[in-house]
Amino acid sequence: MTNAGGLFVEPQLAAFVASALGREIPRPHRDLARVHILDTLASIVACRDLEPAALARTYALSLSGGQGMVTILGTRDRAGLVDAAFASAMTAHAAEINDFIPSAFVQPGPAIVSVALALAERRGVSGAELLRAVTVGYELAGRMPKALGLSNLRRAGLANHGIGPIFGAAATAAALMRLPEDRISDVWTYCAQQAAGSWQWLLDVEHIEKAFVFAGLGAEAGLRAALMVEAGFRGVRGALDHPAGWMRGALFSAGDGDRGYLVSQLDERSELPLTAFKRYPVGGPAQPAVEALLGMLPAIGAAPVEGVLIEMPGRWEAFRDAAMPALNLRYLTAIILLDGELEFVSAQSLQRMAHDEAVKALMARVEIRHDPAQEIPPPAPRPESARVTVTLADGRQESAFVPHVLGYPTHPMSSAEVESKALALMTPALGPERASAVVAATAQLHALPDARALIELIAR
């Protein structure tokens, strides 16, 4: 990619956001937006009682003294607008189960959907308007890291996962607030001043800092930027275009930065088809190995396991050594083989990873290796594959190669498959009738007169 030089991107972006609520979305993109909203709601329901969610909720309530006007999603607690959106986003990414854009290293749903529903509750919007605003948010969340340059961000130690959702949440908020076209530039200015997030999240053990960087930060900063502009705040005009502005500084104007990506085919294609679903409650690159192991369970049965070899592309060592359970393939392998399934709570359990002696003994017999043969050179999408070989105590071997997992952009889930996943996540907490009602409401979201109905459906 090359820098867009003298190209002016802000006028087109401003028009795109300001006109969002009146613009018809192509049916395929509308359907994708709908199921991504459903997927995020299901994540909120499933993660509501996990520690990152509980901490964020307590924090948000402490700021408003329990007198807020906006619901923290998944609960009946209420906090201030920004605080409620923050806590809702943290809840949505309290575990590894929400959507992600692998080509941008961004997880858009938690921040964008939380901000959209917080504003919907406070100001009232239709389901169709919610869909349009969320779609705009996904565009900015997916496009901004690529425009800044993935390698540029990594060299600078800046996490795409924080920056993308800030701009995505701000775009969604600006659209729902109906900010005029000539004020959208100020929104980007205040996003740029707050653009943050460190790759230090890779060292996180308890998923609390990670939930903040991936979700809470984007919801809070993006919504605040739009609210400040609505309140009259002004700043540097053209922060994305100005030769001395944030985006054209030395950090992003060299390397693989490409401002032009922000507006490339903006009205013709969408980042939504590039957005993946997690089929299993584990980190994205861990999914192929998990699928291989689950598929081998019938052949393995209760036979004692001598050892397991997992060969994979990419940053394999991160998934060998991860301190976070849902990212540690040795831990995930152990609980799958011991339990005969992958259960949502166990996949997130630090307690079990640290103290279950049978798990620790089996983890010691799991080897993770890099397999160069599975690498795919750029510009192809990053490879998501794994080869798993299980050696049993009697010398027998079972092996499986998973070239992809259903849910990735190259092999997308159908709407019915996303709905099935959502029902499985929501039914234990909401019961079958309410879980089915959430699915039914999102299926007709484009015709829903008041989007606030979704908030009540998942509240408990």
Please give the residue that has the higher pLDDT: either 381 or 215.
Answer: 215
pLDDT of residue 449: 97
Provide mean pLDDT across the span 234-254: 91
Residue 433, classed as helix, strand or coil, is helix
Give the integer Cα–Cα distance in Å for 147 and 15: 19
**Residue 99 tokens, joined:** 């959507």
Amino acid at 151: S
Provide mean pLDDT across the span 358-380: 93
> With 50 as the cut, is the pLDDT of residue 2 above it?
no
CB-CB contact of 409 with 273 (8 Å): yes
Mean pLDDT over the full length of the chain: 95
Give the integer Cα–Cα distance in Å for 290 and 336: 8
- In order of 98, 205, 271, 321, 363, the CA distances from 328 in angstroms are 18, 11, 29, 6, 10
Amino acid at 154: R
Provide mean pLDDT across the span 284-304: 94
CB-CB contact of 169 with 109 (8 Å): no
pLDDT of residue 1: 37
Provide mean pLDDT across the span 40-45: 98
Edge-first strand listing for the sheet containing 366-370? 366-370, 305-312, 386-392, 397-402
* Closest by Cα among 93, 26, 45 to 437: 45
> pTM above the 0.75 mark?
yes
pLDDT of residue 237: 85
Q: What is the phi-psi region of residue 71: left when phi exceeds 0, alpha when psi lies from -120 to 50, beta otherwise?
A: beta
Residue 23, CB-side half-sphere exposure with 13 Å CA sphere: 21
* Closest by Cα among 76, 111, 66, 78 to 92: 111
Provide mean pLDDT across the span 442-460: 97
Q: Could you give all domains of the chain from N- to C-terminal order, each with its CATH number?
A: 10-274 (1.10.4100.10), 284-402 (3.30.1330.120)
pLDDT of residue 6: 64
pLDDT of residue 67: 77
Amino acid at 31: D
Please write the tens of the pLDDT for every residue from 330-354. Answer: 999 999 999 999 999 999 999 999 9
Amino acid at 315: R
Question: DSSP class of residue 408?
Answer: B
Provide mean pLDDT across the span 32-61: 97
Q: Element (H or E) spanning 127, and its range?
A: helix 127-148
* Closest by Cα among 436, 440, 454, 419 to 125: 454
**Residue 13 tokens, joined:** 């972006």
Question: DSSP class of residue 24?
Answer: P
Residue 220, classed as helix, strand or coil, is helix
> With 80 as the cut, is the pLDDT of residue 206 above it?
yes
Residue 394 CB partners (closer than 8 Å, separation 6+)? 303
pLDDT of residue 5: 53
Amino acid at 237: R
Please write the tens of the pLDDT for every residue from 406-428. Answer: 998 989 999 999 999 999 999 99
Residues above pLDDT 90, as percent of the chain: 89
Provide mean pLDDT across the span 426-448: 97
> With 50 as the cut, is the pLDDT of residue 208 above it?
yes
Give the integer Cα–Cα distance in Å for 171 and 188: 9
Provide mean pLDDT across the span 244-264: 92
Residues above pLDDT 70, as percent of the chain: 98
Of the listed ranges 5-19, 85-99, 128-142, the least confidently predicted one is 5-19
Q: Which residue carries 């598929």 as its tokens? A: 295
Q: Hey, CA dihedral for 221, 227, 228, 233, is it positive or negative?
A: positive
**Residue 152 tokens, joined:** 């540029």
User: Which pLDDT band, with edges at 50, 70 and 90, does 3 fall under?
Assistant: very low
Residue 305, classed as helix, strand or coil, is strand
CA angle, 275 as apex, 416 and 265 as ends, to 5°?
120
Q: Count other Cβ atoms within 10 Å, centred on residue 391.
A: 16
Residue 395, classed as helix, strand or coil, is coil
